Chain A
Amino acid sequence: MSEEGDSDTRVLVLGIGNPDRGDDGIGPLVIECLAGRLPCAVDVRVRAGDVLALIDDWTNFQSVIVVDAAASIGAPGRVHRIDALHETLPMPPLPASSHAFGLTEALALAQALGSAPAEVVVYAIEGEAFEAGAAMTPKVRAAARGVADKVATDVRQMLRPHAEAKSHA
């Protein structure tokens, strides 16, 4: 994987979540499952919640894939693939905290500032246990490998136009 700021880096895969809060750790777990499976032109990062710092970084990427846990709407472990620039991301039930900006706010701010990537795919995995110190539930843990496979496939497709352009250069 490339270093931060590598000019050839075009795709960012971002796992959001806190491994010490049960199913909230699914984002980092998917990143673990991707170890050794992604080409050098992909930057992989884990964030524990406040993604405001990423707004600047996003200008360096053509495509961003985000893996994050979501509040369950009935089926813990179910995976939702959201095209975040064309579909609506769920808003948190309470207004933005002053101290931590979530993915929805960070992406909206990047769009307002004209610094959003051209492509943002969000994998939201429904969780059911988010208490501090809780273990990840089996249904959510079982989803990790499948999400990693989907992310790897997305990455290959995101990089293909770039590889083709290079081969024609």
Chain B
Amino acid sequence: MATKTIKVDYLARVEGEGALDLTIADGKVTAANLRIFEPPRFFEAFLRGRGYEETPDIVARICGICPIAYQMSAVHAIEAAFGVKVEGQLRALRRLIYCGEWIESHALHIVMLHAPDFLGFADGIKMATVYGDMVRTGLALKKAGNEVLRVLGGREVHPVNVRPGGFHRLPTAAEMAGLAETLKRARDDAIALTRWVADFPFPDLEMDYEFVALRHPDEYPFNEGRIVSSRGIDIDIADYDSAFEERHLARSTALHSMTRERGAYLVGPLARYGLNFDRLPPHVQDLAKEVGLGPRCTNPFRSIIVRAIEVVFSCDEALRIIAAYERPEGAFVPLAPRAGTGFGCTEAPRGICWHRYDFEPDGTIKTARIVPPTSQNQASIESDLAAVAGTMVDALDDEIRHRCEQTIRNYDPCISCSAHFLKLTVERQ
């Protein structure tokens, strides 16, 4: 029996540390296992015994590129537990800061990390020698997103201005006017970026995903909605455990999330777009159609186009919010702690980020649970890898290794967030 093992010891252009072991026996892929060896980070344990007010600043440290997702899910959970609802302009400002995070996170991944895979460059730096204008465009977009985070969050990395009930400080009219000018240029850049990536050569691969995302009655989702799936899940965020379970696998320091009935599912841009296309503004839908996207996309390699569409949407939505902005009377809604349990679920750039907290009567955290997007996508990444490698079992190991790395980068995985990710090994039997 011919056995072949291909190893990718450390994945480039992903965040955190992990590896992939691929086993090929008698011309078939028999195993595609992600091994996440990023050390566990124990954030849920750090949170126990801390006051509710500290939570946004602690959870922001889980990720340098998507801190808003962690802050937003946390503050929504706290407010739900204490019986407070944040509405109006404060709610709109939360959508605005989330726009900033999607713009900076997606722009960096599209241009510096993902595009080189399609254009045959080892990295974004080598690509910049040929496609300098588009790299500058991507970097300008990242800078625009960072500027939204700086104005609304107080600083670009690990923002400090988010608090339960709202913000510590409200943006000034001059700051909002400055952001609007930046975002108008960013919207044009995002449209140009979308048209550029749509022309890349994409491998043929259609996957049978169960999409999972938030669904809101009116909005393309950021902070609020029910958890829905393309196979019938439609639950309140508090009922996450009724439809999903986290499993511990020996090869991974990240828990694997599965649907209880069917197993692997997909969160992130493809799922969000596929379940919420009708919530995009008509002109963004038109741009998606112009670049060849239908209302659903199941080719993971084309996720780069969906991310670009989401950047366009985020620029538009941010401009809409700024145009409608009227300074609220207070920077936050006052809240009084009480014993209880609260849930938060918001759309991080990589997919839903679910939190649950139990509080003592004085607001001290008794227990915390955080389910990040990448841990939810691990099983789907492994399914994609088996499918991709299965079409090229006779190829050279280096070719298989390269295509598998590309497949993983389709997910823009954040291993550090999930460890609680890459090295590729291929074993042929």
* A interface residues with partner B (beta carbon < 8 Å): 48, 50, 52-53, 55-56, 94-101, 105, 108-109, 112-114
Contact = CB atoms under 8 A, between A and B. Distances in A.
16 contacts: A50-B64, A52-B108, A52-B142, A53-B143, A95-B10, A95-B13, A96-B13, A98-B14, A98-B108, A99-B64, A99-B414, A105-B125, A112-B125, A113-B128, A113-B132, A113-B136
Nearest to B12: A95
Interface residues of B, number: 34
Interface string B89-113: 0000000000000000000110011
Contacts of A100: 64
Contacts of B15: 97-99
B146 interface: yes
A53 B146 contact: yes
Interface of B: 10-17, 63-65, 108-109, 112-113, 123-126, 128-129, 132, 135-136, 139-140, 142-143, 146, 156-157, 412, 414, 416
A98 B124 contact: no
Contact of A109 (B124, B156, B416): B124
A56 B139 contact: yes
A56 B125 contact: no
Nearest to A97: B15
A3 to B, nearest CB: 16
B10 A112 contact: no
Contacts of A94: 10, 17
B13 A98 contact: yes
- The 3 A-B pairs of least Cβ separation, nearest first, read A95-B12, A112-B128, A99-B15
A101 B63 CA distance: 15
Nearest to B417: A99
Given A53-B143, A109-B128, A112-B128, A99 B136 contact: no
A94 B65 CA distance: 19
A108 B13 contact: no
Contacts of A53: 143, 146, 156
Given A96-B13, A112-B129, 13 more contacts: A53-B146, A53-B156, A95-B13, A98-B13, A98-B14, A98-B108, A98-B113, A99-B63, A99-B64, A99-B416, A109-B128, A112-B125, A112-B128
Contacts of B157: 48, 50
A97 B201 CA distance: 25
A98 B412 CA distance: 8
A101 to B, nearest CB: 8
A56 B146 CA distance: 13
